Amino acid sequence: MQNQENNLQIQIHSKINNPFITYDLKWVPSSTRFLSIGGTGENQGIITVYSLERNQRISIQKKIEGEYNFKCGTFGASDKIDRNISVGDFQGDLKIFDLEYSEEPLFKSSHLSMINSIDGILYNNSPFIAASLQNGNIVCLDPRQQKTIMEFHDNLNIDAWCVKINDQNNPVILTGYENGDFLAVDIRKPTKSNNLKFNLNHPICSIDVKNKNHILNIACSCTENSMIFFDLDLQKDFEEKTKNPLNYQKLDFNKYFNEKNDEKNSEKKNVKNFEEKNSEIDSENSVTLWSTSFSPFNPNLLGISNGIGDFFLMEHRNSKVDLVSSLKVPGKAINCFDWSFDKAGLFAFSCFDENLYVGICGPEDFLLNF
């Protein structure tokens, strides 16, 4: 019997012209709205609230302006009732906005370098935010304390491109750097001697993680065609320092995505399974894999977007990686995307063709009746 994932397809549901630059995109929890986080060519920050309406229509609900372009955002440090968005900008300011009632920030914290990436959780009933900076610093804040509570300087002056916090049960900060370094910090023991650091040999653009008890299945999208998967054992690896370049295994598959996508329709592809605890997948040519994220409804499914307009739906199960389906926006990079946490299969993405898209993935009958 085939896995249910083998019958999934992807299609574009709707799109809207976006007059601004989008650097990040987030679904608003418990809603049909999503945010474009970015700005203008004159470096003015713009957060635009879009709403998915009936009949495949997308409408603009609200705009919030900032002094400088916004680079990244997260709802992770807010509950589903407040739904406050935390954003970082090009100036190094971290701000929190109430989307419903105010265009002025509820909180502001200034730093010395552009904030590339941001993530948050509710930890011990308090909001906890981690931000990765262009100068290599990782700063952690509790907005209720109005101050930085932790700061890490493991890679000074090496651009920290992305950051991800695992979850409140196993709160580990995962950071990817321009030089390929991967840093893991357990915030319960945040000393440099307890940090875990190694190099993936490719600049890391995006990180996501799924949990299996104390085992973290980590996915890193990188430049130079590379998608890297590996496991992190929270009970062993931090103590034994077992992850390092000397024993780090990789599999190199040139021209992995060697079939051309249909430009109008989603297309299934038959791709060989790869069984390795630590594996690397390369697409053809030197293409950047900008963003990756596991589906919140099915952690075996993983979305990946790249610099030539491809969105790939992968299956990651029992250390095997399969390409399930894909769609293509011809010739333009898909620089960011986000899954809806409220509707299975729904996602939104930003493309450099000056449009924002809403896509859906599911069985054919589901797509026909969506």
Half-sphere exposure in the Cβ direction for 143 (13 Å, CA): 22
Task: Report d(CA 66, CA 49) in Å as an integer.
Answer: 14
C-beta of residue 32 within 8 angstroms of C-beta of residue 51 = yes
Judge whether residue 109 has pLDDT over 80. Answer: yes
**How far out from the chain centre does Cα 57 lie?**
25
The pLDDT of residue 321: 85
Per residue in 183-216, pLDDT (tens digit) is 999 888 877 777 898 899 899 999 999 987 788 8
Over 50: is that where the pLDDT of 259 sits?
A: no
Q: Do strands 181-186 and 226-233 pair parallel, antiparallel, or not at all (unpaired)?
A: unpaired
Q: Which residue has the tokens 């977007």?
A: 305
**Inter-residue contact 195 to 243 (CB < 8 Å):** no
The H-or-E segment that residue 240 falls in is helix 237-240
**pLDDT averaged over every residue in the chain:** 85
Q: What is the pLDDT of residues 285-315, one digit of tens each?
A: 578 999 999 999 999 999 999 998 999 999 9
Domain ranges of the chain: 1-19+234-370
Return the residue matching tokens 């939104």: 348
Q: Which residues contact 271 (CB under 8 A, 6 or more apart)?
A: 256, 322, 323
* Nearest-angstrom CA–CA distance, 40 and 18: 11
The residues facing 93 across adjacent strands are 110
pLDDT in tens, 124-159: 889 999 999 999 999 999 998 888 899 988 788 899
The owner of tokens 């029992």 is 318
Q: Please, are residues 335 and 348 in contact by the beta-carbon 8 Å criterion?
A: no
Q: Which tokens go with 81?
A: 């009732």
Distant-in-sequence contacts of 104-113, Cβ < 8 A, 24+ apart: 106/143, 107/143, 107/146, 109/141, 109/143, 109/146, 109/147, 109/148, 111/137, 111/139, 112/137, 113/137
In this prediction the pTM is 0.89
Length of the chain: 370
Say which residue, 1 or 307, is predicted with more confidence: 307
- How many CA atoms, within 13 angstroms, populate the side-chain half-sphere of residue 144? 9
